[in-house]
Amino acid sequence: MVDYTPHVTSPGYTNGNGLYGKEPWWKDATFYQVYPASFKDSNGDGWGDLKGVLSELDYLHDLGVDVIWLSPIFESPQEDMGYDVSDYRKVYAPYGTVEDVDSLISACHARGMKLILDLVVNHTSSQHRWFQESRSSKTNPKRDWYIWKPARYSPTGERLPPTNWRGYFASSTWTWDELTQEYYLHLYAPCQPDLNWENPACRDAIYADMQFWLDRGADGFRIDTVNKYSKHTSYADAPVTEPHSPHQPAPEMWCNGPRIHEFIGEMRARALEPYGAVSVGELSNTPLASQVLPYVSASAKQLDMVFEFSMIRLGTGGGFGAKYIHHPFPLSTLKATVAKWQSFIEGTDGWTTVFCENHDNGRAVSRFGDDSTPELWAASARTIALWQATLTGTLFLYQGQEVGMKNMPADWSIDEYKDIESGNFYREAVRSGDEKRVRDTRHGLSILARDHSRIPFQWDASPNAGFTAEGAKPWMRVHDEYRDINVAKQRGDPGSVLEFYKRVLKLRKEYKDVFIRGTFKLIDPENEAVFAYVKESERTNGVVGGTPRRALVVLNFTKEEQPCVDVAGILGCEPTQVTFLTGTVSGGESGSVAKAKGTHKPLTSWEGRVYVNFA
Ligand code: GLC
Ligand code: CA
């Protein structure tokens, strides 16, 4: 029997049998990230577009999606796929027009869905007119909208950047500007100069651009790199931790800096709250729960939600120089990481998110599942669905996850990798002259590269997978297996990954007290094969002070048969009171299947099941 120490309920919750009237809508919503370049191309130019998204809204609605998060669609030179914005109020022409965004918003709203945009305001593109003005002279009024610093010089007179910091894309964070003879700061590529949030006029301009879209009906923002606006203004060198490199990781110099909560609080008050806009921030390099809570505590009035990356970064060699050196990890590490980020909000007024894919990571079925054979692929993709759908927090899906899209095939050449980060890390390895490093980086990229999630969406078995017209040239190569893995093939097939997602997304809402809002308790943390946990509701089945509603989720994370756990013992009830709610093998029906599916039966390869102590 498991010890159920009662947990403190969060102040925002109304207690007693599922009356969550005061809770914000976005807690129960299912979000879905659309990567617009690769979702659906309406005009045969090989590049996805807004009309393409519009044409598939019914598909998303039918899947059970409530909110679409659209990755950046703004005017941009596309050096970092639109995360380098040159005009926040214009749409990149290949995506469409501002009016197309209006139509998409109305079409979402007409279906009871919402749309959030991607707000990239840690930096702009170097093509943004703000930066063009800023770099034009030291006395330009916008000079201070970016971060300019004089050079340092070595004893021998060599010009050196102001600090030794390494940026994200394998270079210094500083680029020399010949015209005004100063360096500017960029945490990412040189074409992505960091805005200076210390400057109030700069912040005003950002808020005005946010309001532009909220006035047009956008429902909120996913906020890029949200914890990097406040830098430590001492601009000191970072300690040398990567001795082979001139550039050193320095996140402590520019992540969660001294004024970050002030800036975010102001942004919320000025440009989110007046619109009732929802916000979900990208919170990297923040591995302590005590650091995350101040961002997501309701009373702190900062962000509604954040993405915390400990889980999705498993297997990488850290955020900086060794990122693409793959480190296999045991299941117990995955379990402990999930457990930590599931339970950190318990007893607080904070909230969390659930996700295992996005546009910056490899595909979940290839990283956490097993994509080596069609059977293992299907079984593990469904188990991943069940895992995600039963976790606490707001659920975010990434396009293609719902049909089990896989990583790019391992035998594709490095030329198929289009991402600036992949290219820079690979070239850095080649430049080092270290052949092992090149091999390891190449291998790591085949698992972890951002490119895997960016290949065209697989709609059907026609040439180009239905992403773009036959005969058109998609901007990235279509997966070799698109004839086997696509929406058309799975739609209506009850055993498919897609139909399984639809079912579990419904169940998640039907039992939201347990799945979306329940507490999380890991069972048997050391078990390297089975991932089992109990979700517990604040509700009882109508009896005041009665036993809480509980669900036991049991997931076989191996291809071998595994013994099932002691279901009744763990749920704390008599075997006769256990109900089988759903599973990846039965196809997900509940009730009657409970009897057939004896709890003693071993779990087959990658099988997942959910048992509950209520009917
Ligand atoms: C975020 C985005 C990523 C982008 C970076 C710079 O991490 O998710 O795609 O490259 O910010 O904007
Ligand atoms: Ca197009």
- Residue 39 shares a structural domain with residue 114: yes
Residues 6+ apart with CB under 8 A from 20: 13, 14, 512, 513, 517
pLDDT band of residue 3 (cuts 50, 70, 90) is low
Place of tokens 């509940």: 590
Looking at the predicted structure, is the pLDDT value of residue 35 above 70? yes
- Residue 531 shares a structural domain with residue 608: yes
- Residue 395 shares a structural domain with residue 456: yes
Is residue 497 domain-resident?
no
Q: What is residue 21's predicted lDDT score, i.e. its pLDDT?
A: 54
Q: What is residue 603's predicted lDDT score, i.e. its pLDDT?
A: 96
Q: What is the token pair recorded at 546?
A: 């009665």
Name all residues whose Cβ lies below 6 A of ligand 1. 80, 83, 120, 188, 224-225, 282, 359-360
What is the sign of the dihedral through the CA atoms of 411, 414, 420 and 424? positive
- Residue 213 shares a structural domain with residue 323: yes
Q: What is residue 566's predicted lDDT score, i.e. its pLDDT?
A: 95
Q: What is residue 4's predicted lDDT score, i.e. its pLDDT?
A: 53
- Decide if 60 contacts 106 (C-beta within 8 A): no
Secondary element (H or E) of residue 354 = strand 353-354
| Containing structural domain, residue 573 | 518-612
For residue 421, which atom of ligand 1 is closest to its CA? 10
pLDDT band of residue 319 (cuts 50, 70, 90) is confident
Is residue 508 domain-resident?
no
- Residue 360 shares a structural domain with residue 331: yes
Greatest mean pLDDT range, 13-22, 36-45, 590-599 = 36-45
Q: Rounded to whole angstroms, how far apart are CA atoms 582 and 572? A: 19
Instruction: Burial-class residue 443 by CB neighbours within 10 Å (0-12, 13-18, 19+).
Output: middle
- Residue 328 shares a structural domain with residue 462: yes
Q: Rounded to whole angstroms, how far apart are CA atoms 272 and 210? A: 8
Mean model confidence pLDDT for the chain: 94
Is residue 164 domain-resident?
yes
Which of 574, 573, 584, 579 has its CA nearest to residue 594? 579
Is residue 498 domain-resident?
no
Ligand nearest to the CA of 38: 2
Question: 542 or 443: which carries more pLDDT confidence?
Answer: 443
Residue 142 is part of a domain; what is its CATH number? Answer: 3.90.400.10
Is residue 292 domain-resident?
yes
Q: Give the residue numbers annotated as catalytic, written as ranges.
A: 224, 282
Looking at the predicted structure, is the pLDDT value of residue 16 above 60? no
Cα(84) to centroid of ligand 1, in Å?
9
In percent, the amount of the chain with pLDDT more than 90 equals 91
What is the identity of the amino acid at 545?
A: G
pLDDT in tens, 558-580: 999 999 999 999 999 999 999 99
Query: Which of 224, 450, 452 has the most ligand 1 atoms within 8 A of CB, as the residue to mutate?
Result: 224
- Residue 461 shares a structural domain with residue 603: no
pLDDT in tens, 211-244: 999 999 999 999 999 999 999 999 999 999 999 8
- Decide if 102 contacts 89 (C-beta within 8 A): no
- Residue 100 shares a structural domain with residue 171: no
Largest CA distance in the chain: 82
C-alpha distances (whole Å) from 452 to each of 35, 84, 418 are: 12, 20, 10
pLDDT in tens, 125-179: 999 999 999 999 999 999 999 999 999 999 999 999 999 999 999 899 999 999 9
Cα(237) to centroid of ligand 1, in Å?
24
Q: What average pLDDT score do residues 484-503 get? A: 97
pLDDT band of residue 588 (cuts 50, 70, 90) is very low
Cα(509) to centroid of ligand 2, in Å?
35
Q: Which residues of 286-296 are buried (b: 16+ CB within 10 A; e: fewer)?
A: beeeeebbebb
Is residue 80 domain-resident?
yes
Q: What is residue 11's predicted lDDT score, i.e. its pLDDT?
A: 37
pLDDT in tens, 371-391: 999 999 999 999 999 999 999
Looking at the predicted structure, is the pLDDT value of residue 298 above 70? yes
Q: Rounded to whole angstroms, how far apart are CA atoms 501 and 496? A: 9
pLDDT in tens, 418-440: 999 999 999 999 999 999 999 99
pLDDT in tens, 39-95: 999 999 999 999 999 999 999 999 999 999 999 999 999 999 999 999 999 999 999
- Residue 109 shares a structural domain with residue 80: yes
- Residue 215 shares a structural domain with residue 348: yes
Ligand 1: which residue has its CA nearest to atom 4?
83
- Residue 289 shares a structural domain with residue 389: yes
Secondary structure string (H, E, C) spanning 470-501:
CCCCCCCCCCCCCCCCCHHHHCCCCCCHHHHH
- CA end-to-end span of the chain, whole Å? 21
Query: Which of 13-22, 479-488, 567-576 is predicted with the least confidence, judged by mean pLDDT?
Result: 13-22
Q: What average pLDDT score do residues 400-421 get? A: 98
Ligand 1: which residue has its CA nearest to atom 6?
83
Is residue 191 domain-resident?
no
pLDDT band of residue 592 (cuts 50, 70, 90) is very low
Residue 541 is part of a domain; what is its CATH number? Answer: 2.60.40.1180
Work out how many domains the chain is built from and give that number.
3
pLDDT in tens, 89-112: 999 999 999 999 999 999 999 999
Q: What average pLDDT score do residues 183-201 get? A: 98
Looking at the predicted structure, is the pLDDT value of residue 599 above 90? no
Cα(27) to centroid of ligand 2, in Å?
33
Q: Strands across the sheet with 174-177, in order?
A: 148-149, 182-185, 174-177
Q: Rounded to whole angstroms, how far apart are CA atoms 274 and 279? A: 13
Residue 408 is part of a domain; what is its CATH number? Answer: 3.20.20.80
- Decide if 571 contacts 550 (C-beta within 8 A): yes
- Residue 218 shares a structural domain with residue 353: yes
Looking at the predicted structure, is the pLDDT value of residue 200 above 90? yes
Question: 261 or 21: which carries more pLDDT confidence?
Answer: 261
Is residue 46 domain-resident?
yes
Q: Rounded to whole angstroms, how far apart are CA atoms 537 and 515? A: 8
Secondary element (H or E) of residue 539 = strand 530-540
Q: What is residue 17's predicted lDDT score, i.e. its pLDDT?
A: 36
Q: What is the token pair recorded at 51?
A: 């009309």
